[in-house]
Structure formats: structure tokens, C-alpha cells
A and B are shown apart, each in its own frame.
Chain A
Amino acid sequence: KQEVTQIPAALSVPEGENLVLNCSFTDSAIYNLQWFRQDPGKGLTSLLLIQSSQREQTSGRLNASLDKSSGRSTLYIAASQPGDSATYLCAASTGANSKLTFGKGITLSVRP
């Protein structure tokens, strides 16, 4: 059974800092891995999707990497801004049925 872990649960950084959010998963036979953003009381916004055959994806100030052999993914946020404050969840899809297993998320606070 796939398990996804995100540590730490919360992170506070000053504005402008580059930061890395970590995600680990137990079953390396993943179909893809996604990073989502969730604002308080809201649904999920997909940020980046990395296929199992890919090593990284980039969108603007965000870069996500995937290392299946070590069961890890990272989300790199460059030049963080207060507007980046949110909870970031990673989710692994294991199989063509596209079921997602989510981590608990990392709540990021970017201080002005």
C-alpha cells in the first residue's frame, strides 16, 4: 500500500527566500506524482505533474523533481512571496486507475 509522507508539517520563511518542500513515497512503481496547492477552506490547484518517466517539471518559479529509486520528490520555490503562503500537498498515482494517495501537506507561511 502506497504511503506518502511530507515533513515538516509547517514551514515559515522570510520573503525572497528559495525553499524546498520534500515528499517521500514508499512504492516506487508510480504512474505519476503531482504537487497541489490548497488555500484555507478551498479546493486543490494542480501545480505540477511529473510522469514516471520524467525527472522534473518547471512552471514559473516552481520546479518539481522526481527520484523514483529513492522514493522522493521535491518542490522548489524560487524567490518566495507572501502570496505563496498555502498548504502544499503531493500525491502519488500508482496505476492506470489513476487513484491518488496524498500526503498530509506542508503549510507554508512566507513572512513579508
Chain B
Amino acid sequence: GAVVSQHPSWVICKSGTSVKIECRSLDFQATTMFWYRQFPKQSLMLMATSNEGSKATYEQGVEKDKFLINHASLTLSTLTVTSAHPEDSSFYICSVLGRTQGGTDTQYFGPGTRLTVL
């Protein structure tokens, strides 16, 4: 399966600052990537679908002006949390859409980024 990395693995920032999180597909060209957010003891919630070369598709209730997504290449998507506030503190996980050896579309997940906003 695809190998996915995220950077940074954790970040602490002050309220009002912006934070950029990178998601890289290391061995696979990913046309589609996904961004999720996970609060403690909660399930992963899909935030947006990132498509290379086009605008991201955001899920209902996710502010596109606050969570900026850029998918400029087939191996990199970035999520920028603008003017972060403490309620944005969460675990952010990306995934890339790939295909198993059997030909099934599946998502391969990154290790996640822990964001803490003070």
C-alpha cells in the first residue's frame, strides 16, 4: 500500500496564528487526498476532499476560509488552519486514495498531526 507522511507530527501555537500541516504520499501519485479531524474519544470526521489541481470539496459545516487546502502536486496536500483558536485543537489525519493489489479503491492514512492552540 501507499506510504503517507505528515509534518509536523505535533504543533503548539498561540491563538490567532496560522498553522500549516503537510501530507505527503511518498511512493504513490495521489490524485485524491482526504483530511480528517478527530477529537478525543470521537470518530474521525471528514473535513474535505482534496483533488490535485482543483479546489477542495468541503463537508457541510467545515469553513473553507478557515481550513485552507492546497493540493498543488500529486504527492503533496497542505492544510492551513488560519487564525487558530483553542477549539481548533485536535488530531488532524490525512489519507490518500489508492488501489489495492486486488483493484479495490482504498484510503491509506498518515500518522496524524496533533494541534494544540493555547
Contact = CB atoms under 8 A, between A and B. Distances in A.
A71 to B, nearest CB: 17
A91 B114 CA distance: 22
B105 A96 contact: yes
A43 B100 contact: no
Contacts, number: 57
Nearest to B97: A98
Interface of B: 1, 6, 32, 34, 41-46, 49, 91, 93, 95, 97, 100, 104-112, 114
Interface string A44-74: 1110010100000000000000000000000
A83 interface: no
B46 A100 contact: yes
Contact of A46 (B44, B106, B112, B114): B106
Given A42-B112, A43-B93, A103 B43 contact: yes
Contacts of A4: 43
